[in-house]
Structure 1
Amino acid sequence: MIRLSRIMASAAIALSLGGCALLGGGAKTPAWLLTLTPAAAAPPSINRTASVGESVTIDVPVIPEALRTTRVPVQSGPIAIAYVKDLTWVDRPDKLFQDLVAETVTRTTNRVVLDPRQSNLDPGLTVTGNLSRFGFDSQENAVLVRYDATVSANGGSAVRTRRFEAREPADGTAASVGPALNSAANRVAAEVAQWIGGV
């Protein structure tokens, strides 16, 4: 009985250590991480004032389960999804895309852009959305960024929606998919900024 207890204890320790390795202790660190870089030129300085209701808050978009990771999905047909080899985001794509849109709006419009944590300062315009596609499509040999945006103003009394979509050619490798996604995301962000600037 004592021997059996010792065997079970040893097995439990082995399983515990193995679990640690699976959770990251033994995981291989990626050689490099991917991020999104704004294409719009940065102004030398920004000093703006917004009246009540004129500021803009960009929320983190809603994303499907396939994007709730730091890896880049590959769409292979209507139901099959894999991931691009050796390509990892520095953060989840919903947060990276939010930062990109906010920075692009700041650089290309005269709007005062608030962080969602500052939205209580001014109701203003609130931009929410659904980032439904943000990866590589193997059937089209291109990356696809699709963002369904919603702008609400005056506490929700006025609501507008619009779909933004951009494609860029790629061959499915990390070296091509990374820059293509950055380019497509910037095209969408620029169109969103132009749309918001005119609201």
Structure 2
Amino acid sequence: MALRRTIQYSRISAVRRGRVGEVNEAITGGTRLAPGRRAFPVARLATLALAGFLAGCGGNAPPPTFDLLAPRDNLSVRPGRGLIVVAEPSALAALDTTRLVVMTRGGGIAYIGDAQWSDRLPKLVQVRLIQTFENAKRLTGVGRPGDRLLPMAQLNSEIRRFGIDEATGEAVIEMSVKIVQDSTGRILAGQIFTRSVPSGGSGGPVAAAALDLAMQDMLRDIVRWTSARI
């Protein structure tokens, strides 16, 4: 890309100075045209050079999209007897996004440019948590608030960390989870869950894969913990 831009700039600069020979030399990679061969008109060359420069720098294609998966295996848990609803997790604005987060060494937050989640992170986590409960088949039922269910309890959660830790090179997830009795609003149980796995880098595909692996482990932990208390 840098080489292309250098060539394009040299073409445009030469055209502006009226030095057609330099333009043809730039196009042919340093080989001058043989005597008697006709060069492109200067105006035409300028148009082509500018169009090529803009084409090389343009493009607003969205980054590749990645997903979190609901685990189907290793879900042996104590059978529960209740029906619960799973609320969408709360999160700070920096995490309430489709972008993949990098937690920098200085305590800041950056985003990975070549990747995005398939939905806002809190919404995606809610959907995969519900699906994991369904895959475990250990509760009477599970749904969302507003599904017109009569639940025993609601599962509230907060996403505290969800990204690549630049200092350790790990994918790190931390969530606070509470089981709240639906009829009284009383907190029946609470737990903070943390998972981390090596990420192998902060590029989009490897970061997304590491975060998905850590999330699947955490989903299993949350489902086991909740099912034992409902």
Q: Structure 1's 172 and 130: CA in aligned 2 closer, same or farther, altered over 3 A?
A: same
2:216 is the alignment partner of 1:186: yes
Aligned residue for 1:94? 122
The answer to whether the 8 A contact 1:135-1:143 is kept is yes
2:142 is the alignment partner of 1:113: yes
2:71 is the alignment partner of 1:39: yes
Deviation at 1:97?
0.6
The answer to whether the 8 A contact 1:109-1:194 is kept is no
Deviation at 1:159?
2.2
Aligned residue for 1:23? none
Q: For residues 158-177 of structure 1, give each alpha carbon's deviation from its aligned partner in whole angstroms, at most 9, with x where no partner exists.
A: 52110011101111111210
Structure 1: give runs of 5+ residues left out of the alignment.
1-25, 42-49
2:205 is the alignment partner of 1:175: yes
Among 137, 151, 159, the residue aligned to 2:188 = 159
Aligned residue for 2:176? 148
Deviation at 1:194?
0.2
In the superposition, the TM-score normalised over structure 1's length comes to 0.76
Give the 4+ runs in structure 1 shifted more than 3 A: none
Larger radius of gyration: 2
Aligned residue for 1:6? none
Structure 2: give runs of 5+ residues left out of the alignment.
1-57, 74-79
The answer to whether the 8 A contact 2:63-2:113 is kept is no
Structure 1: distance between partners of 2:111 and 2:182: 41
Aligned residue for 2:110? 82
Identity of aligned residues (%): 22
In the superposition, the TM-score normalised over structure 2's length comes to 0.66
Structure 2: distance between partners of 1:184 and 1:30: 25
The answer to whether the 8 A contact 1:168-1:180 is kept is yes
Deviation at 1:189?
0.6
The answer to whether the 8 A contact 2:96-2:120 is kept is yes
The answer to whether the 8 A contact 2:63-2:116 is kept is no
